[in-house]
Amino acid sequence: MQDEFSAPGRHTSRIRPDQRPASPVEGEPPPVGRELLARIAAIDEDAMRHWRLSRLRAELQRLDVAGALLADPINIRYATGTRNMAVWTMHAPGRYAFVATDGPVVLFEFAATRHVTAGSPTVDETRDSTPWISFLAGPRVEEKAALWAEEVASLVAAHGGGNRRLAVDRCDPPGALRLHALGLALVDVQGAIEQARRIKSPEERACLRASMEVCDIAVERMRAALRPGITENQLWAILHAVNTAHGGEWIEARALVSGPRTNPWFQECGDRVIEAGEIVAFDTDMVGPHGYLADISRTLICPDRPATDRQRALLAQSEEQVLFNTSLLRPGLSFRDFAERSWPVPERFLANRYMMMVHGVGFVDEYPSVAYVQDWNAWGFDGVFEENMVVSVESYIGETGGPDGVKLEQQVLITAGGAELLSRTPLLT
DSSP state of 29: P
pLDDT of res. 1: 33
Interval 209-225: pLDDT, tens: 999 999 999 999 999 99
DSSP state of 312: H
Q: Residue 226: how many CB atoms within 10 A of its CB? A: 19
Q: Residue 9: how many CB atoms within 10 A of its CB? A: 13
Interval 23-57: pLDDT, tens: 334 444 444 577 888 889 999 999 999 999 999 99
pLDDT of res. 97: 98
pLDDT exceeds 70 at position 237: yes
DSSP letters, 124-164, are SEEEE----SHHHHGGGHHHHHHHHHHHHHHHHHHHSTT--
The mean per-residue pLDDT over the stretch 261-278 comes to 98
Name the E strands within 73-225: 96-100, 105-109, 125-128, 165-168, 185-188
pLDDT of res. 32: 58
The mean per-residue pLDDT over the stretch 258-286 comes to 98
Superfamily of domain 45-197 in the CATH hierarchy = Creatinase/prolidase N-terminal domain (3.40.350.10)
Name residue 257's beta-bridge partners: 281
Calpha distance 134→172 (Å, rounded):
11
Peptide bond preceding 264 in cis form (omega within 30 of 0): yes
pLDDT of res. 35: 85
Whole-structure pTM value: 0.90
Query: Any idea what the Cα angle at residue 67 is, between residues 365 and 58, rounded to 5°?
Result: 60
pLDDT of res. 31: 46
What is the overall mean pLDDT for the chain? 92
Interval 365-393: pLDDT, tens: 999 999 999 999 999 999 999 999 999 99
Q: Which of 375, 284, 275, 279 is CA-nearest to residue 318?
A: 279
| Sequence spans of domains, the chain | 45-197, 202-421
Architecture of the 202-421 domain: Alpha-Beta Complex (3.90)
Calpha distance 181→98 (Å, rounded):
19
